[in-house]
Amino acid sequence: MTSRTFDERVGAQVFFKCENLQRTGAFKIRGGYNAVHQLSPQQKERGVLTYSSGNHAQAIALAGRLLGVDATIVMPENAPEVKLNATRGYGAEVVTYDPEETVREDLGRKLADERGLTLIPPYDHPDVVAGQGTAGDELFEEVGDLDALLVCLGGGGLLSGCALAARHHAPDCTVIGVEPEAGDDGARSFRTSELQSVHNPDTVADGARTPYLGPEVTFPLVLEYVDDIVTVSDDALIRTMHFVWERMKQVIEPTGALAAAALNDGVVEGDGRRIGVIVSGGNVDLERAATLFEKIR
């Protein structure tokens, strides 16, 4: 999608890749389906497990339903209700935990070992990264060369996959990851070239509350193929989310607004460039969205 009003606001020609219109309402179905599809018949028979705040949870749940694979999903008890309900609706077993007391990765590995399930992490997995990168691949195929590509950053699956797509289609394209200020572990990791972490960051972007980039897959790819990582405030996210709802008529979640917010808030300058923006998802409780919008009135 494009928006003339947004282009005028930021001084660029912006192309939005609207993954909020994807099945399950987010880009995660790309990587989740690919990862489950690649499993051996024996692994599919035993079932899969993942941990996620919501979008990857729904992706694995739906992939399991489509491919006939039982799915167990570890989710924080404070995950958005819309994501919890949708995950259960796809037929997955949901195991909730208190994020203040439990590390989801530890709980996920424990349950997977006890039940003999194949663990598919939300981002640090080659098949997940390959699937997520198809969002960037499609954007370049649809709009041609871009001067810059902005991608939201949580664990790095979407960013690293899209960075690979950018290097294939437009080697001179500047690839920038965008994360919330409270969850700036990616920016700190990028600048120090050493993996940094953050514990349960307080941000409206629930899809970017990951503790760290993937040490095995996504962090090395980010270091090699990404040009910069920037952060935006929660207020900037809410303002951008409100603009997209009101002017572009697209329902997006706070995490889905990360990349666009970097432009809208002036963290990244438009400079008359052709810029791609990945809108990562649109799974947000409507009551919560209304509460967020009240903050900017």
Task: Quote the CA–CA distance of 140 and 145 in Å, as a whole number.
Answer: 6
28 included as an active-site residue? yes
Q: Which of 19, 124, 179, 253 is catalytic?
A: 179
Cβ burial, residue 206 (10 Å; 0-12/13-18/19+): buried
183 included as an active-site residue? yes
Whether 23 and 62 have beta carbons less than 8 Å apart is answered as yes
185 included as an active-site residue? yes
Q: Which of 19, 127, 184, 185 is catalytic?
A: 185
Q: Which of 54, 155, 183, 276 is catalytic?
A: 183
44 included as an active-site residue? no
Q: Which of 3, 52, 53, 160 is catalytic?
A: 53
Cα separation values, 92 from 59, 64, 71, 176, 286, Å: 10, 8, 5, 34, 23
Q: Which of 3, 19, 28, 214 is catalytic?
A: 28
Which alpha helices (H) appear in 150-203, and where do they start and end? 157-169, 185-192
40 included as an active-site residue? no
Q: How many CB atoms lie within 10 A of CB 151?
A: 30
Catalytic center residues: 28, 53, 179, 183, 185, 280
